[in-house]
Structure 1
Amino acid sequence: MNLNQIRQDTKGLSDNKIFLNNAGSSLMPKVVVESMVDYFHQEEQFGGYEVANRTATLLEEFYEETAKLINCKLSNIAFATSATDAYTKALSSIVFKEGDVIITTVDDYISNQITFISLQKKLNIKVIRTKNLSDNELDLEDLENLIKKHNPKLIAVTHIPTNSGLIQNVEGVGKICRQYDVLYLVDACQSVGQMVVDVEKIDCDFLTATGRKFMRGPRGTGFLYVSDRVLEQNYAPLLLDMRGANWTEYDDYELFKTAKRFEHWEISYGSLLGFMEAVKYANNIGLDNIENYNKNLSGKLRENLKNSGFNVWDWGNKLSSIVTFCEPNGELENIQKVLKENNIFFSVTYKNSALIDFTNKNVNGIVRLSPHYFNTTEEIETVSEILKNSLK
């Protein structure tokens, strides 16, 4: 990794700021912004149809780069306008009936939990959450027992919760899902871009991700991975359009073969192009390099905060580049004040966004710092010292 070049490529690092909110919405490399601006200027001159035709080959690189990113084929990738867009399209392709069971975890993302509850209210399905072990890892034995007992329609797991540094054992879950032939959906919106994500190893049926977080792409972008076995069984979103199927008879259609059937025809091609450049940028650096560098940054930050007396709430054997903490008395206000005064970018998560996890931890909220590969060890030490002094 050429850190100097990476920082030069990141215009948002100017103005004497320390940016540590990459789990929220990261800073785009300049090539991402420049490609989008150029594309929209072309649309200004020639109209969207003409520009899309002229740049069709370039736009297809999105699928090539994203397939390379997560180790799959081009045909398994669909562009989405967000991780939630991808997630709901995947869910809508599953025909749920009254009494069907979804098994998820206590650490799944708030929007996913609300979606499951909505399905529960509307379709009278059952939502069951598997247990965690004492070290906060998924209890895979409990998961297997639940599968045997309930014969679930779907297993859904968030790879990295938004409210904690925990990395959940999605590969272990994948092995069990394949053993019992259960559909498996992985939310990877916090893991894609900060670490290696390999769908062959995870062995999931669907995987969703966003552009704006650790991928460093624009808002309004994301992607959906759909496995060959699901495509071959003709899974498709509930509401298709001409992007997903060919109208063959007055009252019939034929699904297109690839995961593009999960797209809608009308998307922002300028945004897709920007996201492609973000994915290419990460691929060129190498996700293994990014993951190793991020481990060092987040590990140092977490250690410094603990040594200074903060309560750090990242529980698990494998931890990510999301660091969550509060003062010894549970307060967040002073931390927020100090970080803002020193132009340090962060986010805050409250109990209603992680109801089960924060109830178990007996906290009402946390401050979240999420370093990424454009940050320096000097920045981590600076932030650590500022926060240490705030407790005096």
Structure 2
Amino acid sequence: MSAALAFPTSAPPIRSEGIYLNSATAGLPTAAVLDAMVGHLWREAEIGPAEAAAEQAERLHAAYRAAARLLGAAEDEIALLESGNRALQAAIGAVPLAPGDRVLVTRAEWGGSLAMLSGLRGVSVEPLPTQPDGTLDLAAARAMPNGRVRLVLATWCPAANGLVNPAAEIGALAREAGAFFILDACQAVGQMPVDVRALACDALVASGRKWLRGPRGTAILYASRRFLGQTATPMPDQFGAAWDGRGWTPRPDARRFETGEASFAGRLGLGAAIEGALAFGPERLQARIAQLAALMRDGLRALPGVQVHDAGSALSGIVSFTLDGMAAGAAQEALRQAGVSLAARGAAYAPLDMAARGLAEVLRAAPHVFNSGAEIAAALDAVARLATRR
């Protein structure tokens, strides 16, 4: 391994076979994450779930503190939910939108977010202008009329493209328009530093299972005090709102978006994952992942019959590519049989962007800190063999 890649792996995953390059789907958990979850499940079986939750109250609260530290937020601005989808639904649903209102999105917006917006009757969803390579055209965006723009929704790191959108600049645009700004950071948190104040976002969503290497079924929702003061939770339950004998009053903090039932084992595991990311250091995470992704991206570009589809000058740890004459699903399976795990993603993951680039599907590689330069080289060799025999 070269000196440039001589990083410690830090809490390697428990894996015994293959090369895992699928952290954009789900990162491999560490032993600390597994211990936190399994230990709590055993304790639930021994003394009862409610009793175990009460016993671990301080550790559960520590997960909120850790998430606040990771994002540069206050603890009362943090909620822990069941998925990135659920968190996005909660944040979007809190914005008071009416027929005739406009929502601006990035061209590389995640398909799930677009599906959520499609259910808003009479609301216009408009992509922000982009340059030919898919990066945001800030000058053209500032020149757009902003009448009745109520929400700007942006995907920071697209799911099927290595692009990193200029989130802070988009936040500034939203403020100029007097709109709320919700940032989908599901592919960003865990692979780069995050400061919600600098981003000027009203809400931010992060999955636990991806780059944070936490459990499935967990997510972080940041909701700023401004956002909490100017929005309402559409359907809180008895946890998100308090009964005073006459009516229900929503909680004043971000936990108004939570419900009374949740996986406490999952939240403990998420807390352990966040602590692991903080211990390694967001800047070091970003540097390590960027080095490995650059090795993968540059190696793929050198292979005949392989097309790399990442765009822009700022790139994430996601590397998207196709093999000439081979469907992404077939290539994914062939690589799996060769011991390399990565993802195949169709147009539904980024409908606007993939249509603009004439793509129906891509392969997606996503290395993490536990990967090595030798593994990247072996994965490239497997792709080369596949491209040769296609």
Same fold? TM cut 0.5: yes
* Amino acid in the other structure paired with 2:348: N
Are 2:299 and 1:304 aligned? yes
In structure 1, C-alpha distance between the alignment counterparts of 2:79 and 2:330, rounded to whole Å: 43
Partner of 2:74: 73
1:153 is paired with a residue whose SS is: strand
Higher mean displacement: 50-59 or 175-184: 175-184
- For residue 6 of structure 1, the aligned residue among 11, 17, 25 is 11
In structure 2, relative to structure 1, the CA distance for the partners of 1:335 and 1:203 (3 Å cut) is same
Partner of 1:316: 312
Are 2:255 and 1:260 aligned? yes
Partner of 1:365: 361
Q: Deviations over 1:314-350 (max 9, x none)?
A: 0111111101111234643663344122211111012
* Amino acid in the other structure paired with 1:226: A
In structure 2, relative to structure 1, the CA distance for the partners of 1:149 and 1:211 (3 Å cut) is closer
* Amino acid in the other structure paired with 1:389: R
The Cα shift of 1:194 comes to 1.1
In structure 2, relative to structure 1, the CA distance for the partners of 1:333 and 1:265 (3 Å cut) is closer
Q: Is the 8 A contact 1:135 1:317 kept in 2?
A: no
Q: Structure 1 length normalisation: TM-score?
A: 0.93
* Amino acid in the other structure paired with 2:43: Q
Q: Is the 8 A contact 1:174 1:202 kept in 2?
A: yes
In the TM superposition, what are the counterparts of 1:35-50 in structure 2 within 5 Å?
35-50=36-51
Q: Is the 8 A contact 2:182 2:202 kept in 1?
A: yes
Partner of 2:158: 161
In structure 2, C-alpha distance between the alignment counterparts of 1:179 and 1:354, rounded to whole Å: 27
Q: Is the 8 A contact 1:330 1:363 kept in 2?
A: no
Structure 2 residue ranges without an equivalent (≥5): 1-5
- For residue 284 of structure 2, the aligned residue among 280, 289, 305 is 289
Structure 1 residue ranges without an equivalent (≥5): none
Partner of 2:128: 130
% identity of equivalent residues: 28
Partner of 2:202: 205
* Amino acid in the other structure paired with 2:162: G
In the TM superposition, what are the counterparts of 1:1-392 in structure 2 within 5 Å?
3-7=8-12, 10-12=13-15, 14-15=16-17, 17-119=18-120, 123-146=121-144, 148-233=145-230, 235-250=231-246, 252-309=247-304, 310-329=306-325, 331-332=327-328, 335-392=331-388
In structure 2, C-alpha distance between the alignment counterparts of 1:332 and 1:44, rounded to whole Å: 44
Q: Deviations over 1:265-316 (max 9, x none)?
A: 1111111101100111111100100000111000111000001131000011
The Cα shift of 1:195 comes to 1.2
In structure 2, relative to structure 1, the CA distance for the partners of 1:85 and 1:175 (3 Å cut) is same
In structure 2, relative to structure 1, the CA distance for the partners of 1:141 and 1:5 (3 Å cut) is closer
The Cα shift of 1:363 comes to 2.1
The Cα shift of 1:207 comes to 0.4
* Amino acid in the other structure paired with 1:3: P
In structure 2, relative to structure 1, the CA distance for the partners of 1:162 and 1:4 (3 Å cut) is closer
1:308 is paired with a residue whose SS is: coil
1:391 is paired with a residue whose SS is: helix
Q: Is the 8 A contact 2:189 2:212 kept in 1?
A: yes
Q: Deviations over 1:110-141 (max 9, x none)?
A: 1001111121xxx2111111111123211223
The Cα shift of 1:178 comes to 2.0
In structure 1, C-alpha distance between the alignment counterparts of 2:328 and 2:269, rounded to whole Å: 36
In structure 2, C-alpha distance between the alignment counterparts of 1:26 and 1:278, rounded to whole Å: 10
The Cα shift of 1:103 comes to 0.9
Higher mean displacement: 64-73 or 330-339: 330-339
The Cα shift of 1:2 comes to 6.1
Q: Structure 2 length normalisation: TM-score?
A: 0.94
